[in-house]
Chain A
């Protein structure tokens, strides 16, 4: 069995515009076929609704992405744990 590979990316700008039309204010960072949504905590929570999530996934696919993920942010008022490195 052989494999075929195609790593064309999706259209981040058009996807972000489509999300705005759903009243979801997200920046979209394209990592090849992964769409990474960067949003405030309120928008992240709205994605907990199954119907909203389904709409976002369908839009992502329509704009050339195979995967869509939302970046997690600290709770409002918290800065999150510090990440220390040598």
Chain B
């Protein structure tokens, strides 16, 4: 079914009105599809004085994602503030329970919201969209506890809406794959360490260098890296030459064994594997 572009444009007008009614707005900004779109619409609506995109940086935030965030901000003149977050220092986060994201977002919003308010940004928003509401997302609870609003979800923006309007606005993120934090590559119960996150990040960067595009996750299983690629890309990377190149690249990143998932990328794959379901 074709996506309804006129409906998405209508939602964008509603978003601009929503933002205009809030005064100065700070955005939790990762440079992903959703927050990049929200930041650019806010900048276009409120001007550079009315918006501040705030990036929380830590070992779980990929360097490539940070670079993409800065490129969008530079190109669309979105003011950016960076702050460091220390979620890995919280043993409740590092133990990697199924509600890990709650502790991460508690750290993020606990630092970001006061900084925004001190700079005169009375409203803080995030890029949660309407599709996210059906997923298991413990981080959303931390957002609510810190009075962070989610206008994209509130106004009914789906991911397809956001991609459609991002393309219309010329954002390079319009077809960017979803990009959750690096900790999402570790199964629940496997402790999150700087070294493990760096190992996953090195492997994913090496695979991008090989030319793998679209969805890509290196799932950490101790000695084993389980690779998830876009389902339509799996076959081509099983040829002997390409499989050998993958093996070499991922071993260089520090894994002993490398496996290619036959199903390809699935959002929340580790939730499925470990039987964690929303209830």
Asked whether B276 lies within 8 Å of A47 as measured between CB atoms, the reply is: no
Q: Tell which of A1, A31, A53, A80 touches B248, judged by Cβ atoms closer than 8 Å.
A: A80
Q: List residues of chain B with CB within 8 A of the CB of A75.
A: 240-241, 243-244
A45 at the interface (CB under 8 A from B): yes
A76 nearest CB neighbor, chain B only: B240
Q: List residues of chain B with CB within 8 A of the CB of A2.
A: 279
A62 at the interface (CB under 8 A from B): no
A14 at the interface (CB under 8 A from B): no
Q: Which residues in window 56-98 of B have CB below 8 A to A?
A: 98
Rounded to whole Å, the gap between the CB of B201 and the closest CB of chain A is 18
A71 at the interface (CB under 8 A from B): yes
A22 at the interface (CB under 8 A from B): no
B224 nearest CB neighbor, chain A only: A36
Complex CA distance for A9 and B273, rounded to whole angstroms? 10
Asked whether B221 lies within 8 Å of A34 as measured between CB atoms, the reply is: yes
Asked whether B235 lies within 8 Å of A49 as measured between CB atoms, the reply is: yes
Asked whether B252 lies within 8 Å of A81 as measured between CB atoms, the reply is: yes
Q: List residues of chain A with CB within 8 A of the CB of B234.
A: 53
Complex CA distance for A70 and B279, rounded to whole angstroms? 31
Task: Indicate the member of B251, B256, B259 with the most A CB atoms within 10 Å.
Answer: B259
Q: List residues of chain B with CB within 8 A of the CB of A1.
A: 136-138, 278-279
Asked whether B273 lies within 8 Å of A3 as measured between CB atoms, the reply is: no
Count residues of chain B with CB under 8 A from any CB of chain A: 42
Q: Which residues in window 58-86 of A have CB below 8 A to B?
A: 66-76, 78, 80-81, 83
Q: Tell which of A48, A73, A80 touches B239, judged by Cβ atoms closer than 8 Å.
A: A48
A6 at the interface (CB under 8 A from B): yes
Asked whether B243 lies within 8 Å of A44 as measured between CB atoms, the reply is: yes
Q: Tell which of B247, B254, B279 touches A74, judged by Cβ atoms closer than 8 Å.
A: B247
Asked whether B259 lies within 8 Å of A71 as measured between CB atoms, the reply is: yes
Complex CA distance for A8 and B275, rounded to whole angstroms? 9
Rounded to whole Å, the gap between the CB of B189 and the closest CB of chain A is 9
Q: Which residues in window 34-49 of A have CB below 8 A to B?
A: 34, 36-37, 41, 44-45, 47-49
A-B contact pairs, 28 of them (CB 8 A): A1-B136, A1-B138, A1-B278, A3-B136, A3-B278, A5-B274, A32-B274, A33-B275, A37-B259, A44-B243, A48-B238, A53-B234, A53-B235, A66-B272, A66-B273, A67-B261, A71-B257, A71-B258, A72-B258, A72-B260, A73-B243, A74-B247, A75-B243, A78-B244, A80-B251, A81-B251, A81-B252, A83-B256
